[in-house]
Structure 1
């Protein structure tokens, strides 16, 4: 099962002795919780995004991409769970380590990208409803989505061209972790902080302030619609700050000050707790669907009705199957056929029997 490169010992952190107990205590709980809650929530959100796309709402395109990014990361959680339960010892090959690392990276920055897309889309819809109408079409949303994915995939190719497995002081093969951070990571981390956090943060704040200003001045917009718009935009900012803020701040701190194992050990728990916060993004993103449409309640009612109809069909089929196989039903059918043998020759004997 273990297929690691021969030069893994050359890329090691054997001189660093760091307590990884947070991975055995907190990480498994968070991973299991996010997987159990996030998987069904995002599957439901994906269906809801489909309903939005079906009615030609460009917002559904962004929500759909956001959900797909979350689901990709959720599918990698079992591997991360096994990794932390084995005391940070990666037992798979380096390629799978890179794939899981890419899914983690993509979940952060694809999510950030589409949170910005949602906020800008609402900003244009509220502040400039006619001037930038062509930017809020289905075609434009698809083009923007392709650009976001392409940008992050190319960035991943640059980030993950280095070795992603190394050995620690316990001779465990660690994945996606270097202590202290390598020289080549500094510039990448500065880019991630600037392009993946600061710039999106200003976009979100700009959108929120513009929308809030117009909504307050508008007398024609219904109160319910105003509340819905405010909640959608404010929830994107809250998700962004809570899930991604602490991680990027500590990422910058590590890049500026982490030069030895002493500092790496001191910041280890805080940094990995912030990394766990990014995982909650997979659970928080479906909240956006509650504020993305005026017909949210009706859509969820439709979903509930569909589930109930399916459930009733299963119950009815089970009940009919049970009745046809009971001794009483067989006895009744036998008595009828004895009284009228011609029933056996009739094509719809069961239907006639039920009527």
Structure 2
């Protein structure tokens, strides 16, 4: 039995020990993380290039997207360490502080992405449902302050990960870098993880669903449009619909499966520790497999986020193309509320 068969539930009794065969992850995780690294690095670097060198006037949505892209880029740089770790079958050759930092950046990226997606969605919601009030509510200064608050919240809530993440030597002389924590700290980690999941995933997800419902109802109203301009209203609707689809896809494909399977695995693992007769080893192993399968999906959000910028951003593609072509005179267009959203 290799390192993947480590005892996951430890106490003074051996009746709750379960040994798993998780050899599949030594192929799944390195391959999937490599794909995320290559694709995500290219997309995020392109998004950063467009924002930094091709965008003259930053709107609030641009500020949120820049922070979202930076969050993803920091995480992507940690993937080579995880690729090497899992390709070497759970043998961590680096230091424990680096293990802590890698796990910390993973969860910071995860919840930072969720919160900045919420900021982008709420920003669009205000512009659609309260177009007049948004002129005074929304500004680049406030967007910067909100971004600082998001980073502070993420760093504060994920700080305990630096404590819980540990390394440990096995009987086969391998060094494990726990993606949760050491067995003796699991009960405390379960409580911490549950609170963070509710505050930084469940609540933002419910807020998004309510906002999107109100946005769709507003967009479907007859004659809706800023300033009565049909063409402008149509473009705004298209951008809003694209954003709704992309954000919901990210939540449904990347975030929701990960949180559901992780919560199930953690719960079964805790029940197995409390009373081994309640949860069989086969059931616990199945939940563990499901959880590990969804981990690459959570990482894939680093590839989805730049797509949100390019497809639902404010004139991103036209700006990028315009900079690559000879300049031509532009018709004068009167300002309208959509410049804010």
Give TM-score, length-normalised by structure 1: 0.77
Deviations, residues 283-309 of structure 1 (Å, cap 9, x unaligned) = 111111133345233123146559xxx
Indicate yes or no: 2:285 matched with 1:265. yes
Structure (1/2) with the larger helix percentage = 1
Alignment of 1:296-307 (within 5 A): 296-302=316-322, 304-305=324-325
- CA displacement at 1:206 relative to structure 2: 1.4
Alignment of 1:105-184 (within 5 A): 105-168=107-170, 170-177=172-179, 178=181, 182-184=186-188
Q: Is the 8 A contact 2:33 2:79 kept in 1?
A: yes
For 2:315 and 2:286, locate their aligned partners in 1 and report how far apart those are by CA, in whole Å.
49
Deviations, residues 112-138 of structure 1 (Å, cap 9, x unaligned) = 000100110000011012224343211
Extract unaligned runs of 5+ from structure 1: 1-10, 307-355
Deviations, residues 31-68 of structure 1 (Å, cap 9, x unaligned) = 11111111111011112333686313110000000000
Q: Which of 241, 259, 263 lines up with 1:230 in the alignment?
A: 241
Q: Which of 186, 192, 213 lines up with 1:188 in the alignment?
A: 192
Structure 2 match to 1:345: none
Give TM-score, length-normalised by structure 2: 0.79
Compare CA radii of gyration and give the structure with the larger one.
Answer: 1
Q: Is the 8 A contact 1:247 1:275 kept in 2?
A: yes
Extract unaligned runs of 5+ from structure 2: 1-8, 226-232, 274-280, 327-341
Indicate yes or no: 2:226 matched with 1:215. no
Q: Which of 20, 24, 27 lines up with 2:26 in the alignment?
A: 24
For 1:110 and 1:249, locate their aligned partners in 2 and report how far apart those are by CA, in whole Å.
19
- CA displacement at 1:264 relative to structure 2: 4.2
For 2:135 and 2:31, locate their aligned partners in 1 and report how far apart those are by CA, in whole Å.
45
- CA displacement at 1:100 relative to structure 2: 0.6
Pick closer, same or farther for the CA change 1:169–1:22 going to 2, 3 Å.
farther
Pick closer, same or farther for the CA change 1:302–1:264 going to 2, 3 Å.
farther
Structure 1 match to 2:329: none
> In structure 2, the residue corresponding to 1:129 is in which secondary structure?
coil
Q: Which of 305, 310, 318 lines up with 1:290 in the alignment?
A: 310
Q: Which has the higher contact order (CA 8 A, sep 6+)?
A: 2
> In structure 2, the residue corresponding to 1:240 is in which secondary structure?
helix
- CA displacement at 1:247 relative to structure 2: 1.0
> In structure 1, the residue corresponding to 2:168 is in which secondary structure?
strand
For 2:323 and 2:10, locate their aligned partners in 1 and report how far apart those are by CA, in whole Å.
51
Q: Please tell me the root mean square deviation across aligned C-alpha atoms, in Å.
A: 2.5
Indicate yes or no: 2:106 matched with 1:104. yes
For 2:86 and 2:50, locate their aligned partners in 1 and report how far apart those are by CA, in whole Å.
34
Q: Is the 8 A contact 1:42 1:67 kept in 2?
A: yes
Q: Is the 8 A contact 1:66 1:110 kept in 2?
A: yes
Deviations, residues 267-286 of structure 1 (Å, cap 9, x unaligned) = 22211111111111011111
Which stretch has the larger CA shift, 296-305 or 247-256?
Answer: 296-305
Q: Is the 8 A contact 2:54 2:320 kept in 1?
A: no
- CA displacement at 1:266 relative to structure 2: 3.0
> In structure 2, the residue corresponding to 1:182 is in which secondary structure?
helix
Deviations, residues 76-97 of structure 1 (Å, cap 9, x unaligned) = 0100000001101111110000
Deviations, residues 213-234 of structure 1 (Å, cap 9, x unaligned) = 1111152533232122111122
Alignment of 1:88-99 (within 5 A): 88-99=90-101
Indicate yes or no: 2:273 matched with 1:274. no
Indicate yes or no: 2:276 matched with 1:256. no
Deviations, residues 192-242 of structure 1 (Å, cap 9, x unaligned) = 221122111111111211111111115253323212211112211111221
